[in-house]
Protein backbone atom coordinates (compact mmCIF):
# COMPACT_ATOMS: atom_id res chain seq x y z
CA UNK A 1 0.00 0.00 0.00
CA UNK A 2 1.32 3.48 -0.88
CA UNK A 3 -0.20 5.18 2.16
CA UNK A 4 -0.65 8.44 0.34
CA UNK A 5 -4.10 9.06 1.87
CA UNK A 6 -5.12 9.61 5.42
CA UNK A 7 -8.12 7.28 4.90
CA UNK A 8 -6.65 3.76 5.17
CA UNK A 9 -8.49 0.69 3.90
CA UNK A 10 -6.19 -1.72 5.75
CA UNK A 11 -8.92 -2.45 8.31
CA UNK A 12 -11.67 -2.74 5.73
CA UNK A 13 -10.02 -5.47 3.64
CA UNK A 14 -8.69 -8.79 4.82
CA UNK A 15 -5.30 -8.84 3.08
CA UNK A 16 -4.50 -12.34 4.30
CA UNK A 17 -6.86 -13.83 1.71
CA UNK A 18 -4.75 -12.39 -1.15
CA UNK A 19 -1.27 -13.77 -1.81
CA UNK A 20 -0.20 -10.63 -3.65
CA UNK A 21 -0.55 -8.59 -0.48
CA UNK A 22 1.53 -11.10 1.39
CA UNK A 23 4.37 -10.89 -1.20
CA UNK A 24 4.30 -7.13 -1.05
CA UNK A 25 4.35 -6.89 2.66
CA UNK A 26 6.73 -9.84 3.26
CA UNK A 27 9.54 -9.86 0.63
CA UNK A 28 11.34 -13.13 0.00
CA UNK A 29 14.80 -12.39 1.38
CA UNK A 30 16.08 -15.85 0.56
CA UNK A 31 15.67 -15.36 -3.24
CA UNK A 32 17.71 -12.16 -3.24
CA UNK A 33 20.41 -13.79 -1.24
CA UNK A 34 20.49 -16.70 -3.65
CA UNK A 35 20.79 -14.31 -6.61
CA UNK A 36 23.64 -12.43 -4.98
CA UNK A 37 25.37 -15.65 -4.00
CA UNK A 38 24.95 -17.05 -7.52
CA UNK A 39 26.38 -13.91 -9.06
CA UNK A 40 29.35 -13.97 -6.71
CA UNK A 41 29.93 -17.64 -7.48
CA UNK A 42 29.86 -16.96 -11.23
CA UNK A 43 32.28 -14.07 -10.81
CA UNK A 44 34.53 -16.27 -8.68
CA UNK A 45 34.51 -18.99 -11.33
CA UNK A 46 35.21 -16.37 -14.00
CA UNK A 47 38.31 -15.28 -12.05
CA UNK A 48 39.84 -18.71 -12.77
CA UNK A 49 39.02 -18.77 -16.46
CA UNK A 50 42.07 -18.68 -18.80
CA UNK A 51 42.94 -15.30 -20.22
CA UNK A 52 45.41 -14.70 -23.07
CA UNK A 53 47.64 -11.76 -22.39
CA UNK A 54 48.10 -9.56 -25.41
CA UNK A 55 49.56 -6.37 -26.83
CA UNK A 56 47.24 -4.19 -28.85
CA UNK A 57 48.64 -1.98 -31.55
CA UNK A 58 47.60 -0.15 -34.68
CA UNK A 59 49.06 -0.55 -38.13
CA UNK A 60 48.23 -0.68 -41.79
CA UNK A 61 48.14 -3.22 -44.57
CA UNK A 62 51.28 -3.44 -46.70
CA UNK A 63 53.06 -6.11 -48.77
CA UNK A 64 55.54 -8.71 -47.66
CA UNK A 65 58.01 -8.10 -50.50
CA UNK A 66 59.38 -4.55 -51.00
CA UNK A 67 58.99 -4.76 -54.79
CA UNK A 68 55.28 -5.55 -54.38
CA UNK A 69 54.46 -2.26 -52.67
CA UNK A 70 52.98 0.76 -54.44
CA UNK A 71 55.61 2.77 -56.23
CA UNK A 72 56.00 5.85 -58.36
CA UNK A 73 57.55 5.90 -61.81
CA UNK A 74 60.10 8.64 -62.36
CA UNK A 75 61.57 10.25 -65.43
CA UNK A 76 65.29 9.51 -65.61
CA UNK A 77 65.95 12.46 -67.93
CA UNK A 78 64.35 15.90 -68.26
CA UNK A 79 61.88 16.28 -71.09
CA UNK A 80 58.59 17.57 -72.39
CA UNK A 81 55.41 15.48 -72.24
CA UNK A 82 54.27 14.67 -75.76
CA UNK A 83 51.77 11.80 -75.47
CA UNK A 84 50.03 9.64 -72.86
CA UNK A 85 49.34 5.97 -73.58
CA UNK A 86 47.45 5.06 -70.36
CA UNK A 87 44.89 6.50 -68.01
CA UNK A 88 44.21 6.02 -64.33
CA UNK A 89 42.91 2.56 -63.48
CA UNK A 90 44.42 0.86 -66.57
CA UNK A 91 46.18 -2.46 -66.19
CA UNK A 92 49.66 -2.52 -67.74
CA UNK A 93 52.12 -5.30 -68.34
CA UNK A 94 55.82 -5.00 -67.71
CA UNK A 95 57.39 -2.99 -70.53
CA UNK A 96 54.16 -1.32 -71.71
CA UNK A 97 54.63 2.32 -72.74
CA UNK A 98 53.09 4.78 -70.30
CA UNK A 99 54.20 8.16 -71.65
CA UNK A 100 56.41 9.61 -74.39
CA UNK A 101 58.57 12.67 -73.74
CA UNK A 102 60.72 14.73 -76.08
CA UNK A 103 64.20 16.16 -75.55
CA UNK A 104 64.72 19.60 -74.00
CA UNK A 105 68.49 19.53 -73.42
CA UNK A 106 70.21 21.53 -76.17
CA UNK A 107 73.11 19.06 -76.15
CA UNK A 108 70.86 16.28 -77.46
CA UNK A 109 68.48 18.17 -79.76
CA UNK A 110 70.21 17.06 -82.99
CA UNK A 111 67.95 14.39 -84.56
CA UNK A 112 71.00 12.81 -86.26
CA UNK A 113 73.12 12.77 -83.09
CA UNK A 114 73.50 8.97 -83.11
CA UNK A 115 74.55 8.85 -86.78
CA UNK A 116 77.06 11.67 -86.37
CA UNK A 117 78.57 10.12 -83.26
CA UNK A 118 78.80 6.77 -85.01
CA UNK A 119 80.65 8.46 -87.88
CA UNK A 120 83.07 9.98 -85.37
CA UNK A 121 83.69 6.53 -83.90
CA UNK A 122 84.38 5.09 -87.36
CA UNK A 123 86.71 7.99 -88.22
CA UNK A 124 88.68 7.50 -85.01
CA UNK A 125 88.93 3.77 -85.67
CA UNK A 126 90.30 4.50 -89.17
CA UNK A 127 92.72 6.99 -87.63
CA UNK A 128 94.00 4.31 -85.29
CA UNK A 129 94.48 1.98 -88.27
CA UNK A 130 96.33 4.66 -90.22
CA UNK A 131 98.70 5.39 -87.37
CA UNK A 132 99.28 1.68 -86.94
CA UNK A 133 100.19 1.32 -90.64
CA UNK A 134 102.50 4.31 -90.34
CA UNK A 135 104.22 2.75 -87.35
CA UNK A 136 104.74 -0.46 -89.31
CA UNK A 137 106.18 1.52 -92.24
CA UNK A 138 108.55 3.35 -89.91
CA UNK A 139 109.60 0.04 -88.38
CA UNK A 140 110.44 -1.20 -91.89
CA UNK A 141 112.30 2.03 -92.60
CA UNK A 142 114.37 1.67 -89.43
CA UNK A 143 115.21 -1.91 -90.35
CA UNK A 144 116.27 -0.80 -93.83
CA UNK A 145 118.44 1.97 -92.39
CA UNK A 146 120.09 -0.47 -89.98
CA UNK A 147 120.73 -2.88 -92.87
CA UNK A 148 122.15 -0.09 -95.08
CA UNK A 149 124.30 1.10 -92.22
CA UNK A 150 125.68 -2.39 -91.81
CA UNK A 151 126.48 -2.61 -95.54
CA UNK A 152 128.03 0.87 -95.65
CA UNK A 153 130.11 0.03 -92.62
CA UNK A 154 131.32 -3.13 -94.27
CA UNK A 155 132.25 -1.23 -97.44
CA UNK A 156 134.05 1.46 -95.44
CA UNK A 157 135.91 -1.15 -93.40
CA UNK A 158 136.99 -2.89 -96.63
CA UNK A 159 138.12 0.43 -98.06
CA UNK A 160 140.06 1.18 -94.86
CA UNK A 161 141.64 -2.24 -94.99
CA UNK A 162 142.65 -1.67 -98.61
CA UNK A 163 144.12 1.72 -97.70
CA UNK A 164 146.11 0.21 -94.87
CA UNK A 165 147.41 -2.54 -97.15
CA UNK A 166 148.36 0.08 -99.71
CA UNK A 167 150.25 1.98 -97.00
CA UNK A 168 152.16 -1.19 -96.26
CA UNK A 169 152.85 -1.72 -99.97
CA UNK A 170 153.96 1.88 -100.45
CA UNK A 171 156.14 1.75 -97.39
CA UNK A 172 157.86 -1.40 -98.80
CA UNK A 173 158.24 0.37 -102.16
CA UNK A 174 159.78 3.35 -100.33
CA UNK A 175 162.24 1.10 -98.55
CA UNK A 176 163.14 -0.50 -101.91
CA UNK A 177 163.64 2.94 -103.45
CA UNK A 178 165.83 3.95 -100.52
CA UNK A 179 167.85 0.79 -100.93
CA UNK A 180 168.24 1.40 -104.69
CA UNK A 181 169.28 4.97 -104.01
CA UNK A 182 171.85 3.85 -101.45
CA UNK A 183 173.24 1.25 -103.81
CA UNK A 184 173.43 3.85 -106.58
CA UNK A 185 175.32 6.25 -104.27
CA UNK A 186 177.84 3.59 -103.27
CA UNK A 187 178.32 2.59 -106.89
CA UNK A 188 178.87 6.22 -107.82
CA UNK A 189 181.51 6.56 -105.10
CA UNK A 190 183.36 3.47 -106.34
CA UNK A 191 183.14 4.56 -109.94
CA UNK A 192 184.50 7.99 -109.04
CA UNK A 193 187.40 6.39 -107.19
CA UNK A 194 188.14 4.19 -110.17
CA UNK A 195 187.82 7.22 -112.45
CA UNK A 196 190.34 9.09 -110.35
CA UNK A 197 192.67 6.17 -110.74
CA UNK A 198 191.97 6.17 -114.47
CA UNK A 199 190.34 2.82 -114.53
CA UNK A 200 186.79 4.03 -115.32
CA UNK A 201 185.83 6.51 -117.93
CA UNK A 202 183.95 9.75 -117.37
CA UNK A 203 181.01 8.34 -119.26
CA UNK A 204 180.55 5.62 -116.75
CA UNK A 205 180.76 8.15 -113.94
CA UNK A 206 178.07 10.25 -115.53
CA UNK A 207 175.91 7.19 -116.04
CA UNK A 208 176.22 6.37 -112.37
CA UNK A 209 175.33 9.91 -111.42
CA UNK A 210 172.29 9.72 -113.66
CA UNK A 211 171.30 6.43 -112.04
CA UNK A 212 171.63 8.04 -108.61
CA UNK A 213 169.24 10.78 -109.68
CA UNK A 214 166.86 8.21 -111.07
CA UNK A 215 166.79 6.24 -107.81
CA UNK A 216 166.45 9.44 -105.82
CA UNK A 217 163.44 10.40 -107.97
CA UNK A 218 161.89 6.97 -107.37
CA UNK A 219 162.53 7.38 -103.64
CA UNK A 220 160.78 10.75 -103.57
CA UNK A 221 157.89 9.32 -105.62
CA UNK A 222 157.62 6.40 -103.21
CA UNK A 223 157.52 8.82 -100.26
CA UNK A 224 154.79 10.83 -101.94
CA UNK A 225 152.81 7.66 -102.68
CA UNK A 226 153.18 6.57 -99.07
CA UNK A 227 151.87 9.89 -97.81
CA UNK A 228 148.95 9.62 -100.24
CA UNK A 229 148.14 6.12 -98.94
CA UNK A 230 148.30 7.36 -95.35
CA UNK A 231 145.84 10.15 -96.25
CA UNK A 232 143.57 7.54 -97.81
CA UNK A 233 143.60 5.58 -94.52
CA UNK A 234 142.66 8.72 -92.60
CA UNK A 235 139.88 9.47 -95.11
CA UNK A 236 138.57 5.90 -94.79
CA UNK A 237 138.47 6.19 -90.99
CA UNK A 238 136.68 9.54 -91.24
CA UNK A 239 134.21 7.99 -93.67
CA UNK A 240 133.43 5.28 -91.11
CA UNK A 241 132.63 7.93 -88.51
CA UNK A 242 130.57 9.90 -91.02
CA UNK A 243 128.57 6.81 -91.99
CA UNK A 244 127.91 6.02 -88.32
CA UNK A 245 126.77 9.57 -87.57
CA UNK A 246 124.65 9.83 -90.75
CA UNK A 247 122.78 6.58 -90.24
CA UNK A 248 122.38 7.11 -86.51
CA UNK A 249 120.77 10.46 -87.29
CA UNK A 250 118.45 8.89 -89.88
CA UNK A 251 117.51 6.03 -87.55
CA UNK A 252 116.89 8.46 -84.65
CA UNK A 253 114.62 10.60 -86.86
CA UNK A 254 112.68 7.54 -88.03
CA UNK A 255 112.26 6.24 -84.47
CA UNK A 256 111.23 9.70 -83.24
CA UNK A 257 108.58 9.84 -85.93
CA UNK A 258 107.56 6.30 -85.06
CA UNK A 259 107.07 7.13 -81.37
CA UNK A 260 105.17 10.29 -82.29
CA UNK A 261 102.88 8.13 -84.44
CA UNK A 262 102.50 5.65 -81.57
CA UNK A 263 101.54 8.51 -79.24
CA UNK A 264 98.95 9.76 -81.72
CA UNK A 265 97.69 6.21 -82.21
CA UNK A 266 97.28 5.71 -78.45
CA UNK A 267 95.45 9.04 -78.18
CA UNK A 268 93.13 8.05 -81.01
CA UNK A 269 92.67 4.60 -79.48
CA UNK A 270 91.76 6.21 -76.15
CA UNK A 271 89.21 8.40 -77.92
CA UNK A 272 87.51 5.40 -79.54
CA UNK A 273 86.11 3.92 -76.25
CA UNK A 274 85.12 7.42 -75.13
CA UNK A 275 83.18 8.02 -78.34
CA UNK A 276 81.72 4.51 -78.16
CA UNK A 277 80.62 5.25 -74.59
CA UNK A 278 78.99 8.49 -75.73
CA UNK A 279 77.31 6.65 -78.61
CA UNK A 280 76.01 4.02 -76.19
CA UNK A 281 74.81 6.69 -73.77
CA UNK A 282 73.03 8.54 -76.58
CA UNK A 283 71.43 5.29 -77.72
CA UNK A 284 70.24 4.46 -74.19
CA UNK A 285 69.02 8.01 -73.69
CA UNK A 286 66.96 7.82 -76.88
CA UNK A 287 65.22 4.78 -75.38
CA UNK A 288 64.38 6.76 -72.24
CA UNK A 289 61.98 8.97 -74.16
CA UNK A 290 59.44 6.14 -73.81
CA UNK A 291 58.72 5.63 -70.10
CA UNK A 292 57.56 2.04 -69.57
CA UNK A 293 56.00 0.05 -66.72
CA UNK A 294 58.61 -1.68 -64.51
CA UNK A 295 56.23 -4.54 -63.66
CA UNK A 296 52.66 -5.74 -64.10
CA UNK A 297 50.18 -3.59 -62.22
CA UNK A 298 47.50 -0.91 -62.21
CA UNK A 299 47.97 2.79 -62.85
CA UNK A 300 46.56 4.38 -59.71
CA UNK A 301 47.32 8.08 -60.15
CA UNK A 302 48.76 10.38 -62.81
CA UNK A 303 50.95 12.81 -60.83
CA UNK A 304 51.88 14.84 -63.92
CA UNK A 305 49.27 15.53 -66.55
CA UNK A 306 48.68 17.42 -69.75
CA UNK A 307 50.60 17.77 -73.01
CA UNK A 308 53.60 20.04 -73.35
CA UNK A 309 54.40 20.12 -69.64
CA UNK A 310 58.13 20.16 -68.93
CA UNK A 311 59.44 17.75 -66.31
CA UNK A 312 62.80 17.63 -64.59
CA UNK A 313 65.12 14.70 -64.05
CA UNK A 314 63.75 12.37 -61.34
CA UNK A 315 60.24 13.85 -61.46
CA UNK A 316 57.42 11.55 -60.31
CA UNK A 317 55.03 10.92 -63.19
CA UNK A 318 52.57 8.16 -62.23
CA UNK A 319 52.04 5.77 -59.34
CA UNK A 320 51.55 2.06 -59.99
CA UNK A 321 50.28 -0.75 -57.81
CA UNK A 322 51.71 -4.21 -58.63
CA UNK A 323 49.11 -6.75 -59.68
CA UNK A 324 50.71 -9.72 -57.93
CA UNK A 325 51.50 -9.19 -54.26
CA UNK A 326 51.38 -10.90 -50.89
CA UNK A 327 49.72 -8.93 -48.11
CA UNK A 328 51.25 -8.22 -44.74
CA UNK A 329 50.56 -5.88 -41.84
CA UNK A 330 52.99 -3.29 -40.56
CA UNK A 331 52.15 -2.60 -36.93
CA UNK A 332 53.82 -0.20 -34.48
CA UNK A 333 54.39 -1.22 -30.85
CA UNK A 334 55.59 0.80 -27.88
CA UNK A 335 59.22 0.38 -26.82
CA UNK A 336 58.12 -1.14 -23.51
CA UNK A 337 56.32 -3.96 -25.36
CA UNK A 338 59.10 -4.68 -27.88
CA UNK A 339 60.97 -7.27 -25.72
CA UNK A 340 57.75 -9.32 -25.54
CA UNK A 341 57.57 -9.78 -29.32
CA UNK A 342 59.58 -12.43 -31.16
CA UNK A 343 59.73 -13.77 -34.68
CA UNK A 344 57.10 -16.41 -35.36
CA UNK A 345 54.76 -15.06 -32.68
CA UNK A 346 51.02 -15.27 -33.39
CA UNK A 347 49.14 -12.02 -34.02
CA UNK A 348 45.37 -11.60 -34.52
CA UNK A 349 44.25 -8.76 -36.79
CA UNK A 350 41.06 -6.82 -37.30
CA UNK A 351 40.94 -4.92 -40.60
CA UNK A 352 39.16 -1.60 -41.04
CA UNK A 353 35.83 -2.02 -42.79
CA UNK A 354 35.69 -5.74 -42.03
CA UNK A 355 33.01 -6.71 -39.42
CA UNK A 356 34.43 -8.36 -36.35
CA UNK A 357 33.53 -9.28 -32.77
CA UNK A 358 36.72 -9.18 -30.75
CA UNK A 359 37.44 -10.70 -27.34
CA UNK A 360 41.09 -9.83 -26.80
CA UNK A 361 41.50 -12.29 -23.94
CA UNK A 362 39.74 -15.14 -25.75
CA UNK A 363 41.03 -15.07 -29.33
CA UNK A 364 39.34 -18.36 -30.19
CA UNK A 365 35.97 -16.85 -29.34
CA UNK A 366 36.55 -13.79 -31.54
CA UNK A 367 34.89 -13.47 -34.91
CA UNK A 368 36.18 -11.60 -37.97
CA UNK A 369 39.83 -11.59 -36.93
CA UNK A 370 42.63 -13.20 -38.90
CA UNK A 371 45.90 -14.77 -37.84
CA UNK A 372 49.43 -13.81 -38.77
CA UNK A 373 53.01 -14.45 -37.71
CA UNK A 374 55.74 -11.97 -36.92
CA UNK A 375 58.40 -12.13 -39.66
CA UNK A 376 60.49 -9.00 -39.04
CA UNK A 377 61.18 -6.56 -36.22
CA UNK A 378 62.87 -3.22 -36.79
CA UNK A 379 66.02 -2.59 -34.78
CA UNK A 380 65.65 1.17 -35.06
CA UNK A 381 62.79 3.27 -33.77
CA UNK A 382 60.40 4.87 -36.27
CA UNK A 383 59.71 8.61 -36.49
CA UNK A 384 56.46 8.11 -34.55
CA UNK A 385 58.42 6.92 -31.49
CA UNK A 386 57.44 3.25 -31.90
CA UNK A 387 59.01 0.14 -33.38
CA UNK A 388 57.69 -1.33 -36.62
CA UNK A 389 56.84 -5.03 -36.70
CA UNK A 390 55.98 -6.83 -39.95
CA UNK A 391 53.33 -9.56 -39.77
CA UNK A 392 52.72 -12.08 -42.58
CA UNK A 393 49.59 -14.22 -43.03
CA UNK A 394 49.44 -17.50 -41.13
CA UNK A 395 49.12 -20.25 -43.72
CA UNK A 396 47.58 -22.62 -41.15
CA UNK A 397 44.65 -20.27 -40.47
CA UNK A 398 41.91 -18.71 -42.61
CA UNK A 399 43.08 -16.76 -45.61
CA UNK A 400 42.93 -13.00 -45.37
CA UNK A 401 40.00 -11.36 -47.20
CA UNK A 402 40.60 -10.65 -50.88
CA UNK A 403 38.81 -7.32 -50.49
CA UNK A 404 41.55 -5.98 -48.21
CA UNK A 405 43.66 -3.39 -50.02
CA UNK A 406 47.14 -2.11 -49.38
CA UNK A 407 47.08 0.91 -47.08
CA UNK A 408 43.97 -0.13 -45.14
CA UNK A 409 44.09 0.25 -41.37
CA UNK A 410 44.46 -2.71 -39.02
CA UNK A 411 44.12 -3.27 -35.29
CA UNK A 412 46.46 -6.01 -34.09
CA UNK A 413 46.42 -8.22 -31.01
CA UNK A 414 49.72 -9.93 -30.28
CA UNK A 415 49.00 -13.07 -28.27
CA UNK A 416 51.22 -13.72 -25.27
CA UNK A 417 51.02 -16.03 -22.27
CA UNK A 418 47.84 -17.70 -20.96
CA UNK A 419 47.03 -16.65 -17.36
CA UNK A 420 43.92 -16.69 -15.13
CA UNK A 421 41.55 -13.74 -15.24
CA UNK A 422 42.31 -12.83 -11.63
CA UNK A 423 46.03 -12.61 -12.42
CA UNK A 424 45.37 -10.31 -15.39
CA UNK A 425 43.16 -8.05 -13.26
CA UNK A 426 45.79 -7.96 -10.52
CA UNK A 427 48.52 -7.16 -13.13
CA UNK A 428 46.55 -4.28 -14.60
CA UNK A 429 45.60 -2.86 -11.20
CA UNK A 430 49.29 -2.79 -10.27
CA UNK A 431 50.44 -1.52 -13.69
CA UNK A 432 52.72 -4.51 -14.34
CA UNK A 433 53.66 -5.46 -17.95
CA UNK A 434 52.54 -8.79 -19.42
CA UNK A 435 54.55 -11.89 -18.63
CA UNK A 436 57.82 -12.26 -20.55
CA UNK A 437 58.04 -15.70 -22.04
CA UNK A 438 59.79 -17.44 -24.92
CA UNK A 439 57.98 -18.51 -28.03
CA UNK A 440 57.75 -22.27 -28.57
CA UNK A 441 60.26 -22.16 -31.43
CA UNK A 442 62.70 -20.24 -29.20
CA UNK A 443 62.26 -22.73 -26.40
CA UNK A 444 63.24 -25.52 -28.78
CA UNK A 445 66.36 -23.55 -29.73
CA UNK A 446 67.49 -22.88 -26.19
CA UNK A 447 66.09 -19.36 -26.01
CA UNK A 448 68.01 -18.14 -29.07
CA UNK A 449 65.88 -16.27 -31.59
CA UNK A 450 66.17 -17.44 -35.17
Question: Which CATH number covers residue 316?
Answer: 2.40.50.100
Exposed, middle or buried: residue 389 (CB in 10 Å: 0-12, 13-18, 19+)?
Answer: buried
Quote the domain boundaries for residue 274: 113-287
Is 389 contained in some domain? Answer: yes
The CATH number for 348's domain is 2.40.30.170
Is 108 contained in some domain? Answer: no
Residue 158 and residue 183 in one domain: yes
Residue 313 and residue 358 in one domain: no
Rounded-to-5 percentages of helix, strand, coil across the chain:
50, 20, 30
User: What integer pLDDT is reported at residue 445 of this predicted model?
Assistant: 43
User: What integer pLDDT is reported at residue 448 of this predicted model?
Assistant: 36
Q: How many C-beta atoms lie closer than 10 Å to residue 331's C-beta?
A: 27
pLDDT surpasses 60 at 3? no
Residue 124 and residue 253 in one domain: yes
Closest CA relative to residue 326, chosen from 130, 68, 100: 68
Is 233 contained in some domain? Answer: yes
Residue 59 and residue 23 in one domain: no
Q: Rounded CA gap, 55 and 58, in Å?
A: 10
Residue 63 and residue 75 in one domain: no
Residue 386 and residue 259 in one domain: no
Residue 122 and residue 264 in one domain: yes
Q: Is the pTM of this model over 0.75?
A: no
Residue 60 and residue 78 in one domain: no
pLDDT surpasses 80 at 416? no
User: What's the pLDDT band for 68 if we cut at 50, 70, 90?
Assistant: confident
Residue 334 and residue 218 in one domain: no
Is 380 contained in some domain? Answer: yes
Residue 56 and residue 146 in one domain: no
Q: Rounded CA gap, 243 and 149, in Å?
A: 7
pLDDT tens-digit series, residues 266-323: 888 888 888 889 888 888 888 888 999 988 999 988 888 778 888 888 888 999 988 8
Is 331 contained in some domain? Answer: yes
pLDDT tens-digit series, residues 325-344: 888 999 998 888 888 788 88
Residue 242 and residue 157 in one domain: yes
User: What integer pLDDT is reported at residue 400 of this predicted model?
Assistant: 85
Residue 84 and residue 165 in one domain: no
Amino acid sequence: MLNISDNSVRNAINTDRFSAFSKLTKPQKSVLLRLIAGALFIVLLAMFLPWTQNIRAKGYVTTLQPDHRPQTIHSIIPGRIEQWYVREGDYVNKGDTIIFISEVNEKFLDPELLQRTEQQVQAKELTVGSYMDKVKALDAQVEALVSNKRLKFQQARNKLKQARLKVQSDSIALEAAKTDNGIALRQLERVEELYSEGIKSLTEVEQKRQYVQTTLSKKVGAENQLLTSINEVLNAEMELSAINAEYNDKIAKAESEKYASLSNMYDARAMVPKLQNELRNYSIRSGMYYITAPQDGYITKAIKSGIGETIKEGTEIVSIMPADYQLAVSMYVNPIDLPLINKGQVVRMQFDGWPAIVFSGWPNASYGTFAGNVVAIDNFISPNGKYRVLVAPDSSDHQWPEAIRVGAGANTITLLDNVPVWFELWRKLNGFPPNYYLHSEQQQNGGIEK
